[in-house]
Structure 1
């Protein structure tokens, strides 16, 4: 099959309309005449032990009315499928379905209580299709306008001769708006008298979560088909972006059927892990859109009815999260100029090009793709498919062709490339293989003047059970006019649970430059943050053998403020010690190392400056999204992200949170015991859903109560009667007067006018207020003089 035919075939599969089929004629329902002596009767009905209605009309016939028939409408209401099994009997203007002689159905009747009890197997009920609810799509909070500047700065000095002090840093400037985000990143270095500054990326990004799409204008990375590598370029790009809706399930889901005679709860287990619980009615049922697994696995349905009886349905499945759901497409188009010497030169733009890719899920088991790219001297196009074949695993194949005219050659050269791969994954076995073959003249835009490997072959396999796992892999790469590269690798690991983790790996070169390696390591966790490890490695290279033994002690940084460290000692005259300290303002580090006869010292700092909501704050380094937590007027309050402490509010009651997840619900909460008793708290938890590289303001509704207890008396000094009403005239808020003439007033200012009304009479009093530490201060006794 030629590439052109393959491409045409895949496109035809994508656009062909489904063939319509004539519907089968509805089955003919048999009818019969009511037997002599039949009569209607009203009874109470129970179905499989559950009440099914009072005053249900049935037909009784036979000796002493011992035979019963159920009304067709009631059978439909109860989802009993009887019309295809027994003839419909007409009595007067009503239709009934006899209950005698039905396989799987029995009934009894109590003349005293007038209760008809029916017992029916699940197969007699109408089958139900139930779609499992999927996670709701999130609605991100569109940001306001703000600016952030992130920085990473490192300075190193060594006592080696003629080695200057080296200082390097990377910065990123971002301006976020409701329309999009502008970012500019750069790298700089100072070594003695030498200065270096390089621009990295300048990009304006417009994310459209409602459309699952994004625009990128400026410097970015191309999105290509699987047969073509990505490339950095400057230009414009538009395409789908599923990351703007992380809760969207893009891969095919599965279905599973079962049945129950009573309304039941179905627990869905995927590889013995509870996924969801679903209520189902009596009868056969099919659960649609059940979660799947990536690789070989087992799905189980545990059906538990109202009586506590359980049924278990099991099904072996093979799923892939890399496929697309039927009807779902993923695409991208871009045009611009390739970047050359990225990170070395600021603005070296080379070949102009345009490219695009499109993937679509055709069935639950098949996803196809097409792609193409065009430049002045190069054109390439290709197609591919990925599919799951039963329980054999996932297969994928691509084919591409190109036309290339190298300067100064006058003629174009045609080339082709084919890829075929397979993998099968499970909880114990994982293995697969891949091969790629390309002709010498095949080119892609990202290749430039360097042709791709003419042949690449790789294979892997692993087996894990319990605490142990073992694996091996093989790689072979043949490049034009270069020596073949070929090596094998093996790994083994064993977990001693709380007593540590052992791992071993070996690499053996079979062809090409010799670089044989063997490594064995053992790590032991001392607590949640601290780990110790020892390792030994041997390397056989063309320049000789080298053996190194190392010991490391490491403490990871906490989520909130705190410190971490690393001590690394080697028998090859190398030693290192570093200390890192993290605050709400950033991360600071100091490192001392010795290699051979020379000692080096290094200090570093990273963090961000953020201006948003009319406030400039310093914080940790901005990652994907961030937020400003505000509890105005309440300093030193602990703030939590997903129940992990991230810091305390500053003197103004604000805390910058640098690491929120974009387009996902971030659950922020505050510690109530850090608030004074006088605080009025509406909620302790709020959700934040920011855009990428943007900030969101999370303002907790907490305020000082500014309240106190006032006692009101009449002109003669007696307490005002309970039930009187005190109204704060500045806000028109009303407060009841309780026993002893007392009322608790809130929302006070330094001077407050209060009107007290009772029994059609009223008076106005001025009540002063001075804030203090007492959450319920006594404001004093106030005499009420009637207004005449």
Structure 2
């Protein structure tokens, strides 16, 4: 009997404990209480403590505290979260927490950008450059030579440049022909580029581009590589708890991120141009995964909604380009405007005019869903009272395996623009139709087909059809074949070619055929010049059906200072030889550097020490010279490139103050990238007072950079990382007095050498 009573008591005692575990608030807080608790919203703890009033089953909290935590609530004052529809709340007295689960629609929308590039301000130092390309030719009884040069002066103000060619031999004798002279400046804050001098008008896909001598103001999106101008896919979802999100584009993972509870939007998903599919995989805390696939189509010609691209030019038409130095025609004006209306529509406007000519037009680019891109434009002109028009329409579609494009352009007899209005014989109707397509089949290869039907204004018509095929036959061998057919002349031509890769070299052989030469057997061997410089060569030969032979060969060499090329060719009884050399000389920071390529932008890494390894974009590009400089050509403008030095090979007494930098350069300019390396030593200094007695121990000496060192017995002071020029010391003596000392370090003093006594006054 006693045992039964004890068991019953134990069971009755267990029931209240279980109830407390399930509903802590109702047991722990019997009367209304004002508390300060941690807010845990959908499993995520918030950093700020919030006031909470617990009154039985009611949990009152100020709405402002909930809005601070990220909830979208319009109700003012205190809110009973236990009574909110869709909310789940529980007070945890043991940990002093309010556990609140809110529906996703009350949580803030999170915008997760797949690309988080940041803008880096550009830099440019003042300097000059002389680029050159010399070429000589001799064949039969003809000998000629030419020298192309560009003179460039640059700095923070912009770039002033002049290009021209000096020719000798041939029909024109010896003369210099000026090509282009201009000043160019880019305003990175406004994304505007201004050009004064010789220029080309910026054209739309349905307008021509002409050369002017004048002024141009245009949008420059390239000044902001971090700016995405094309509408990219977006994906929206929601999460009830902290969730991992993985992004796959056409089966390849592009990014992985973590989102908090609530709605989220993946912006600017990085994709390829054309059609594809984005798959978003969400994984919650317990490992449950949900995959959602969304198709997309990206047309790179579209602009994001609200973005505007423009170009405006005013000047005189250039005439006799590459023939005359300063021949300009009539005054002209031209302007183009593109504006992103929506993710699927971009509108275009264009206008141009001159004396006796006016031309205006409008166009649009539209992507109707995932089926490709449509574009169209209409332009109307008036020349000498005659009105004409031009109509352009096109369609394109691209995916990973298939692409097709078509375009139709027709011009009426009276249509004119800046490229044709002052040509007396440039009249008559004209049209141009083009259709092309390609498809990649994994086992068969890649096929391409095209058809062009062009009618010029003088009535001449050309209709050409082509078909091509290519396939990799193995890891080193590939095959290529194509057939062309001239519809109007009823002539066909074709070729078949095999190419075998042999490391840096390759060999090829094939056969071609046409009506004029018959069958021609071809073979060749080539080796490309290594990227870091060196020797390359190529040789090709062919034998026609009638036994005639053709051949050519060339040898090229690229060094750090220049490029050199030699070549020869022979056809039947004629032979010719040629030679060329090219490069550039750059003047920057009082030093001249030679480069093999003509750089748009370039950098000079300055370490102040010789033989320091330098890396550009994590690739070793060389070692600094005797003056501590290394010239790096071919730097991409506006891109924040990574420059660094390798400190592992530095002597033990050398210290790098900075080992890496990210620097963006302006186009056509150069800059010094300072990564200073200084020779430092640890030295022992004996400090004495003005009377020559050693300073008492217990004081300290502080150098200019703030480092302090204690003074030991006999006034001994040990200094680390002392530069060759010496150091200034601010000394606090053991008795509290102060004095200053100047320590000069001899150039031949070894590390941990002794200096002194040095008077501290």
TM-score between the two structures when normalised by the length of structure 2: 0.83
Match of 1:690 among 662, 665, 675: 665
**Corresponding residue of 1:315:** 294
**Please, which runs of 5 or more residues in structure 2 have no aligned partner?**
1-28
| Distance (whole Å) between structure 2 residues aligned to residue 652 and residue 107 of structure 1 | 71
Measured after TM superposition, the shift of residue 200 of structure 1 is 0.7
**Is 2:370 aligned against 1:401?**
no
The CA deviation string for residues 407-441 of structure 1, in whole angstroms up to 9 with x for no partner, is: xxxxx322111111111111122112111122122
Matched-pair contact (CA < 8 Å) for 2:414–2:428: no
Displacement of 1:612 in angstroms is 2.2
- Is 1:386 matched with 2:385? no
> Helix, strand or coil for the counterpart of 1:389?
coil
1:185 pairs, out of 163, 176, 197, with 163
The answer on 1:475 being equivalent to 2:449 is no
Return the alpha-carbon distance in structure 2 between the equivalents of residues 259 and 591 of structure 1.
Answer: 66
Cα drift, residue 155 of structure 1: 2.4
Q: RMSD over aligned Cα, in angstroms?
A: 3.9
Change in CA separation of 1:574 and 1:722 when aligned onto 2, cut-off 3 Å? farther
Which of 540, 543, 557 lines up with 1:568 in the alignment? 540
Would the alpha carbon gap of residues 649 and 603 (structure 1) be closer, same or farther in structure 2, given more than 3 Å must change?
Answer: farther
Aligned position for 2:596: 620
8 Å contact kept, 1:228–1:446 = no
Instruction: Write the deviation string for residues 300-345 of structure 1: whole angstroms up to 9, x where unpaired.
Output: 2222334444332221111222111112111111122222332222
From 439, 462, 465, the counterpart of 1:463: 439
Deviations 1:583-609 (A, max 9, x none): 322222333444445654433221112
Matches within 5 A, 1:281-320: 281-291=260-270, 293-320=272-299
Partner of 1:556: 529
Query: Aligned in 2, Cα 1:235/1:770: closer, same or farther, shift over 3 Å?
Result: same
Match of 1:428 in 2: 401
- Assess, with a 3 A threshold, how the Cα gap between structure 1 residues 68 and 47 changes in structure 2: closer, same or farther: farther
Which aligned pairs between 1:624-773 and structure 2 lie closer than 5 A?
624-632=600-608, 634-705=609-680, 707-710=681-684, 712=686, 725=700, 735-737=709-711, 741=716, 743-744=718-719, 746-747=721-722, 759-760=734-735, 769-772=745-748
Aligned to 2:6: none
For 1:538, the equivalent position in structure 2 comes to 512
- 1:138 pairs with 2:154: no
The 1:577–1:649 alpha-carbon spacing in structure 2 relative to 1, beyond 3 Å, is farther
CA displacement at 1:205 relative to structure 2: 1.2
Q: 1:698 to 1:496 in 2, by over 3 A?
A: farther
Cα distance, 1:260–1:417 mapped onto 2, change above 3 Å:
same
Against the structure 1 CA distance between its residues 216 and 453, is the aligned structure 2 distance closer, same or farther, given a 3 Å change threshold?
A: farther
2:351 is equivalent to residue 377 of structure 1: no
Kindly indicate whether residue 325 of structure 2 is the aligned counterpart of residue 352 of structure 1: no
Alpha-carbon separation, structure 1, partners of 2:44 and 2:416 = 72
Structure 1 SS opposite 2:174: strand
Q: Which moved more, 1:461-470 or 1:203-212?
A: 461-470
Deviates more, 1:582-591 or 1:492-501: 492-501
> In structure 2, what is the Cα distance between the partners aligned to 1:99 and 1:146?
73
Whether 1:241 and 2:241 are equivalent positions in the alignment is no
- Tell me: CA distance 1:539–1:644, structure 2 relative to 1, closer, same or farther (3 Å): farther
1:293 and 1:320 in contact (8 A); partners too: no
Structure 2 counterpart SS, 1:243: helix
Distance 1:126 1:537 in 2: 69
* Structure-1 residue corresponding to 2:751: 777
> Residue 57 of structure 1: CA displacement?
3.6
Q: CA distance change for structure 1 residues 440 and 763 in 2, over 3 Å: closer, same or farther? A: closer
Q: CA deviation at 1:347?
A: 2.5
- Alignment correspondent of 2:128: 147
Q: SS at 1:445's partner residue?
A: coil
Any conservation in 2 of the 1:267–1:277 contact (CA below 8 Å)? yes
1:454-603 equivalences under 5 Å are 454-466=430-442, 468-495=445-472, 498-512=475-489, 514=491, 516-524=493-501, 526=503, 530-541=504-515, 543-558=516-531, 560-571=532-543, 573-596=549-572, 600-603=576-579
Q: Does 1:250 align with 2:242?
A: no
Hey, what does 1:167 align to over in structure 2? 145
- Alpha-carbon offset, residue 785 of structure 1: 9.3
Structure 1 94/649 Cα, relative in aligned 2: closer, same or farther at 3 Å?
closer
Q: Deviations over 1:326-373 (max 9, x none)?
A: 121111111222223322222232233211111111111111111111
CA spacing shift, 1:453–1:60, aligned 2, 3 Å: farther
CA deviations on 1:217-272 (whole Å, 9 max, x unpaired) are: 11111123432211112122112122222322112244321111112233333334
Summarize the Cα distance change of 1:68–1:136 in structure 2 as closer, same or farther, 3 Å threshold. same
1:282 is displaced (CA, Å) by 0.8
User: Cα offset for 1:710?
Assistant: 2.2
Maintained 8 Å contact 1:257/1:287: yes
User: Residues 76-118 of structure 1: CA distance to partner in whole angstroms, max 9, x if unpaired?
Assistant: 56667899xxxx9x9xx95414459x67x76778898887766
Return closer, same or farther for 1:768/1:337 CA change in 2, 3 Å cut-off: closer
Q: 2: distance between equivalents of 1:381 and 1:523? A: 53
2:312 to 326, 333, 346: 333
In the aligned structure 2, how far is the partner of 1:749 from the partner of 1:362? 64
| Deviation by residue 1:659-705 (Cα, 9 ceiling, x = unmatched) | 11112212222232443332220122223322221121212221222
Partner of 1:409: none
Distance in 2 (CA, whole Å) between partners of 1:426 and 1:610 is 45
Q: 1:674–1:344: structure 2 CA closer, same or farther, 3 Å change rule?
A: farther
Cα distance, 1:747–1:428 mapped onto 2, change above 3 Å = same
List aligned pairs for 1:109-148, cutoff 5 A. Answer: 123=104, 125-126=106-107, 128-130=109-111, 132=113, 134-141=116-123, 143-148=124-129
* 1:58-73 correspondence runs (5 A): 71=61, 73=63
Residues 370-420 of structure 1: CA distance to partner in whole angstroms, max 9, x if unpaired? 111112232211111111111121111100111223xxxxxx322111111
More displaced 10-residue stretch of structure 1: 329-338 or 634-643 = 634-643
Deviations 1:111-136 (A, max 9, x none): 9888776667x556535242537532
Q: Is the 8 A contact 1:154 1:604 kept in 2?
A: yes
C-alpha contact (below 8 Å) 1:256/1:287 kept by paired residues: yes
CA distance in 1, matches of 2:321, 2:490: 28
- The question of whether the paired residues in 1 share the 8 Å contact of 2:132 and 2:148 is answered with yes
Query: Contact 2:427–2:458 (CA<8 Å) still a contact in 1?
Result: no
Cα 1:349–1:38 change in 2 (3 A) is same
| Separation in 2, partners of 1:698, 1:202 | 29
Deviates more, 1:645-654 or 1:423-432: 645-654
Q: C-alpha displacement at 1:754, in angstroms? A: 7.7
Query: Per the alignment, in what secondary structure is the counterpart of residue 419 of structure 2?
Result: helix
> Structure 1-normalised TM-score?
0.80
Contact 1:168/1:188 (8 A) holds in 2: yes
| Residues 49-90 of structure 1: per-residue CA shift (max 9 Å, x gap) | 5557988746566xxxxx66665737656667899xxxx9x9
Partner-residue secondary structure (3-state), 1:447: coil
Contact 1:240–1:332 (8 Å) recurs in 2: yes
Give the CA deviation at 1:185.
0.6
